[in-house]
Structure 1
Amino acid sequence: MLREMSTLYGRTPGGYVWAVAQPVGALVVLTVAFTILLRSPPLGNSFILFYASGYLPFTVYATVALTVQNAIQFSKQLLYYPAVSWLDAIIARFLLNLLTSITVMVIVLFGILHLTEASATLSPGPIVLSVLLAALVGLGIGTLNCLLTGLFSAWANVWSIITRPMILIAGVLFIYEHLPEWFQGYLWYTPWIHITGLSRSGVYATYDPTYISLTVVALWALVPLFFGLLLLRRFHKDILNR
């Protein structure tokens, strides 16, 4: 964890400031763009709070998934020491980036509520649950991708292309209820729309997303995690020797 902290944030001017600046910059761009296009956000009266309530949990998933995916490659030199295992590398990256993402989320939400005209009575339960579920899905998918990327180097590029429009279907820019019914049927089977809806229910007291299924999210997290860990135990030495 210390090695990753020094590598990712210790070698650039500003260090951890960029961890906060990146989501803030993305939210500002979204807010400016959609303020021009729309008269009011789908929920509440603040564009930046609406997009933050969906974007921040999504970044938890995206950050954890990407860093766990590259865990073995990132720590490859350390893994030649018997005292360090491939599982250590995955756990360390998962914990560090989860804690970083949570810290960034708290700072950004606090800043929005105190530095802008946005107002909300936050309910911590749904927000915390959405963050933990987002991290768990990121861990599961990241672990499976860690295996696939290690065995097939082209998989990282393929996955990047496949998931490029992910933010468009994750419910960051809209709410589930405003979509056509046929499209709702497809999105219901993806975990991100449930995570986003759960997060927004903790930000907006009047929003009650009845479509949320924790079972769907759990399956997306635990199934790839199970197969990823099982196969990494079998093939991690092959990955290290490539």
Structure 2
Amino acid sequence: MLIPPARINKSPRGSNRSFATFRAISALILREMATRYGRSPGGYIWALLEPLGGIVALGFGFSLLVRTPALGTSFLLFFATGFLPFAMYSNIGSNVGRCINFSRALLLYPAVTWLDAVLARFILGLLTETLVMVIILTGLVLMADSRTILDIGPIVESVFLAAALGLGVGLMNCVLFGLFDIWMQIWSIVMRPLMLISGVLFLYESMPRAIEGILWYNPLIHITGLMRSGFYSSYEASYASSSYVLLFSTVCIFLGVVLMGRFHRVILNR
């Protein structure tokens, strides 16, 4: 009598690769947390105190110049709704852009890919910035003692777009930082005045008509406008276009992924 051969259960290669990717990203996140927050006194507290200090400084400075903010009665809440989404974009973009240099030694192992390093820094940055944003904005709303009626939709939309834009710009910079050493200095110079033209300190509608037409092409002006429309029921950011920001971010992400796939070995071997 013929005995049928025993069946051998083979796990799909795709599932093995997915599990390996999950382990690599988790390990990179833990390493990033230990390196960035575990070696300094206070650790994660500095992630909260740094943006809070900037908001307090802005609020105090402008309170000496004008009596009331452009929206509401709280300078701190006004600047927080513009500064925090800007900070999310800036920090995520900066961390993703430098992920290759930070994880260069680990990327020499076949089990760790450049995409693992990018996703690890993006996920950690998104979680950290979202937590900081929730804590600071909740505290400021309670301190303002105003009957703020939150519109969650624009707030979530602003956070999503800020994170997507940070990822896209970070991926592009990841390639440019790796191929051109001077680009890091050029980018630091470009970033310095960016907060001044991104709606953090002012409202888009308060600008002259000619300047409005130029500022509209800055994706961050749409993100800060959406965030403020979620906190101020009397403010409607009619100029804000989520489609434009999403298209801009998608193009950057696509180009970044394609260029990283093409040049990541060149960057690692430099």
TM-score bucket of the superposed structures, by smaller chain: over 0.9
Residue 65 of structure 1 deviates from its aligned partner by: 0.3
- Structural mapping, 1:1-242, within 5 Å: 1-242=29-270
TM-score by structure 1 length? 0.98
Residue 231 of structure 1 deviates from its aligned partner by: 0.9
- CA deviations on 1:170-190 (whole Å, 9 max, x unpaired) are 100011111100000001111
Percent identical among aligned pairs is: 52
TM-score by structure 2 length? 0.88
Q: Which amino acid aligns with 1:83?
A: A
Q: Which amino acid aligns with 1:8?
A: R
Q: Where does the alignment leave 5 or more consecutive residues of structure 2 unmatched?
A: 1-28
Distance 2:248 2:187 in 1: 16
Distance 1:21 1:119 in 2: 26
Give structure 1 regions of 4+ aligned residues with deviation exceeding 3 angstroms. Answer: 115-119
Residue 214 of structure 1 deviates from its aligned partner by: 1.5
Residue 213 of structure 1 deviates from its aligned partner by: 1.0
- CA deviations on 1:36-93 (whole Å, 9 max, x unpaired) are 0011100001100000011111111001000000011111111011110000000010
Residue 224 of structure 1 deviates from its aligned partner by: 1.5
* Counterpart secondary structure, 1:108: helix
Residue 110 of structure 1 deviates from its aligned partner by: 1.3
Once the two structures are overlaid, the 10-residue window that deviates more, 115-124 or 21-30, is: 115-124
Q: Which amino acid aligns with 1:158?
A: I
* Counterpart secondary structure, 2:115: helix
Residue 138 of structure 1 deviates from its aligned partner by: 0.5
Residue 117 of structure 1 deviates from its aligned partner by: 3.9
Contact 1:46/1:118 (<8 A) preserved: no
Residue 215 of structure 1 deviates from its aligned partner by: 2.2
Residue 218 of structure 1 deviates from its aligned partner by: 1.5
Distance 1:39 1:235 in 2: 53
| Structure with max Cα Rg | 2
Contact 1:172/1:196 (<8 A) preserved: yes
* Counterpart secondary structure, 2:64: helix
Contact 1:137/1:221 (<8 A) preserved: yes
What is the match of residue 16 of structure 2?
none
Q: Which amino acid aligns with 2:96?
A: V
Distance 2:265 2:149 in 1: 50
Q: Which amino acid aligns with 2:155?
A: I
* Counterpart secondary structure, 1:37: coil
Q: CA RMSD in A?
A: 0.9
* Counterpart secondary structure, 1:189: coil
